[in-house]
């Protein structure tokens, strides 16, 4: 009933926030196409720091959207890929992202109009 899908009074963020957050969204987008190793992902997810990628992957893994496949070799090799649930989430997420990206010119036009009319 309430539109608040997020849990307030809850210190740890929710799944939807993991998904829609800046790094969560980019990580899921990157993993939609293929699995990647940690540093491959770092290069794909442009601008992410080691710390945030690690944190993001842990959250998504805990939520069951990403699977972590660690081989105990030396040097270590760890692959990350989407779970079936993660795939479905990523598809819906990408639908949204692509739509917004695709209408970025409309948005930019609107912003210019808004700003030129002295909207703050």
Partner DNA sequence: CGGCATCCTATCGGATACTG
Partner DNA sequence: CAGTATCCGATAGGATGCCG
Binding footprint of DNA on the chain (CB under 7 A): 11, 13, 21-23, 37-40, 47-52, 54, 57-58, 68, 70, 75-78, 80, 120
Interaction between residue 78 and a second copy (CB under 8 A): no
Whichever of 3 and 51 has its CB closer to DNA, that residue is 51
Distance (Å, whole) CA 106 – CA 82: 32
- Residue 66's SS3 state is strand
- The interface partner of residue 61, options being a second copy, DNA, none and the CB cut-off 5 to 8 Å by kind, is a second copy
Interaction between residue 34 and a second copy (CB under 8 A): no
CA of 68: how far to CAs of 35, 46, 51, 60, 115, in Å? 10, 21, 17, 10, 46
């Amino acid at each position: 009933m309430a539109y608040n899908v997020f849990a307030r009074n809850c210190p740890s963020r929710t799944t939807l926030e993991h998904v829609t957050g800046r790094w969560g969204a980019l990580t899921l987008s990157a993993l939609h196409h293929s699995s990647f190793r940690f540093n491959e992902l770092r290069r794909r997810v442009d601008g992410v720091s080691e710390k945030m990628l690690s944190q993001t992957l842990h959250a998504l893994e805990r939520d069951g959207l990403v699977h972590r496949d660690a081989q105990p070799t030396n040097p270590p090799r760890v692959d990350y890929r989407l779970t079936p649930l993660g795939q479905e989430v990523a598809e819906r997420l990408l639908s949204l992202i692509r739509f917004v990206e695709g209408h970025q010119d409309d948005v930019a036009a609107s912003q210019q109009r808004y700003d030129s009319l002295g909207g703050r």
